[in-house]
Amino acid sequence: MATLDLSLDAVSLTAALVDIESVSRDEAEIADAVEAALRPLPHLEVVRHGHTIVARTDLGRGERVVIAGHLDTVPVNDNLPSRLEGGVLHGLGTCDMKGGDAVILRLAATVPEPVRDVTYILYEAEEIEATHNGLRLLAEARPDLMAADFAILMEPSNASVEAGCQGTLRVEVRTTGERAHSARSWRGVNAIHRAAEVLDRITAVEPRRPVIDGLEYREGLNAVAISGGVAGNVVPDECVVTVNYRFAPDRSEAEAEAFVRELFAGYDVRLTDTSPGALPGLELPAAKAFVEAVGGQVAPKFGWTDVARFTALGVPAVNFGPGDPLYAHKQDEHVPVEHIERCERQLRAWLTGRPAAGPESGHESGHESGERNA
């Protein structure tokens, strides 16, 4: 069984988490390790739900915050184990989002008396269909564990605040035809050829770029898969184009679905997955205070994150985590050491009410040279 040493610095702890393979639906080992590391800490109440671990302080503070991160990754792509080179940690999950998870674990272990009560959540199955999402399952079974005045999702955001998130939905657009021998193709109707019109409709769309709370969101509509064909000598009678629509948070799921169905009018359209977006909510006091505490810079979140789940529960939430989201899911996924250390310093200062200290010279030099605790 894998073990985690929470006395390690956050960068070394990130590497340890990365080296525990945890592709979605295979998080048992990493969840066991997280639970075993957190349970001995006397200042935390630890609850497990499936492969989701919740650790909470209960100090009677006037405010409660949630700091959350998912434990799963996309499939391995010849990018394990981790390696540290020139102040950058490489490997599957370094950016999305085990750097953030390591910060969560370090704070949970080393801030026993925060100025606000904290609920730390490390959860399963964020990278796949919403039905498996650990936060969704927790909200259904134990909504009390997600109650808070404010929430921070440690999704990669270049160690700065990204507000709100896009909604996402997927549909299957089906074309039909008539089978025939390919040597006598005029006797049939080619369903794959009919899919060309579906693709033309997609590429003709000018993506919306609405400005919300001063932040410009950019929508995206893309064919992400296509399937069809019977045999090498048969004109196919069916083709399915899978389309992903990333919609700005000023549109509801129902509005987004209506837009897609109207776009593909005349075709068989089947909705397969949908999750709502989240408005930035920057006017809320808790969000304003956090943004000011970590530097005041805010960008829109391109992509869907679980801030939407907290927003649906009435909890304002932002994204704030180490790593450039452009490297999430890529083979060369990586995270700068400086991002991990900065996020930890700023969150520690916010939770303790003390000014953020500068980088620790011992850690900086060791990580720059490619060394880390083992």
Q: Which residues are catalytic?
A: 72, 126
Q: According to the 3-state scheme, what is the secondary structure of the chain?
A: CCCCCCCCCHHHHHHHHHCCCCECCCCHHHHHHHHHHHCCCCCCEEEEECCEEEEECCCCCCCEEEEEEECCECCCCCCCCCEEECCEEECCCHHHHHHHHHHHHHHHHHCCCCCCEEEEEEECCCCCCHHHCHHHHHHHHCHHHHCCCEEEECCCCCCCEEECECEEEEEEEEEECECEEHHHHHHCECHHHHHHHHHHHHHCCCCCCCEECCEECCCEEEEEEEEECCCCCEECCEEEEEEEEEECCCCCHHHHHHHHHHHCCCCEEEEEEEECCECCCCCCHHHHHHHHHCCCCEEECCCCCCHHHHHHCCCCEEEECCCCHHHCCCCCCEEEHHHHHHHHHHHHHHHHCCCCCCCCHHHHHHHHCCCCCC
Residue type, 236: P
Q: Are 32 and 2 in contact (CB under 8 A)?
A: yes
Distance separating alpha carbons of residues 46 and 34, to the nearest angstrom:
10
Residues 6+ apart with CB under 8 A from 83: 89, 90, 91
Distance separating alpha carbons of residues 15 and 2, to the nearest angstrom:
13
